Amino acid sequence: MVREKERVLEFVKSNPSCYRIECAGGTGVQRDVVNALLDELVADGTIIATEGERSKQTFRAATYTPPVPEPAPTDRRSAAQIWSDEARTFGLAEWNREHPAPKPEPRHVITDAEIAACIPPPVKPLTEAERKDYEISHRDRRPVNPQAFLRR
């Protein structure tokens, strides 16, 4: 029982604002034992329970202090620096109005004549003489083994 009590106390210390069911699941101790140990630790003053229904109570160690958020950064510039920064911003905006950025050159637009120049001429079919000449010049000239079909 002492061992379970130590496990529950360590769990509550490492997980502030935990519920009863979380303590039971996180420690691996039976729920009824955890409930009895939590009630005992609250009675001892070792942990603090929030007000409310028993199932919705959260627990935290009595020595727990919530983390303090860091203060917001302060502006450490002098009034003269702030005014000069504003004047610099105003002056830069005015200079940009007086000296606009140059406009980029317009992009090249492709004309119909350029497109027509890229299209290849249509293919004309071969005449009968040209076709025969092509077939003779491109035929396979390797010797044919008449018994090659038997090896398959």
Handedness of CA 144, 146, 151, 152 (dihedral sign): positive
Average pLDDT over residues 44-63: 82
Predicted confidence at residue 129, as pLDDT, reads: 95
The top-scoring range by mean pLDDT among 4-13, 19-28, 95-104 is 95-104
Residues 6+ apart with CB under 8 A from 141: none
Question: Per-residue pLDDT for 150 more than 80?
Answer: no
Question: Per-residue pLDDT for 152 more than 60?
Answer: no
pTM of the model: 0.43
In terms of Cα–Cα distance, which of 66, 6, 15, 17 is closest to 41? 6
Residues 6+ apart with CB under 8 A from 45: 62
Average predicted confidence (pLDDT) for the chain? 85
Question: Per-residue pLDDT for 110 more than 80?
Answer: yes
Asked if 61 contacts 47 with a C-beta cutoff of 8 angstroms, the reply is yes
Structure tokens at 101: 């950025």
73 or 151: which carries more pLDDT confidence?
Answer: 73
Residues 6+ apart with CB under 8 A from 115: none
Asked if 25 contacts 18 with a C-beta cutoff of 8 angstroms, the reply is no
* Domains of the chain, first to last: 2-61 (1.10.10.10)
**Concatenated DSSP letters for 25-54?**
HHHT--HHHHHHHHHHHHHHTSEEE-SS-G
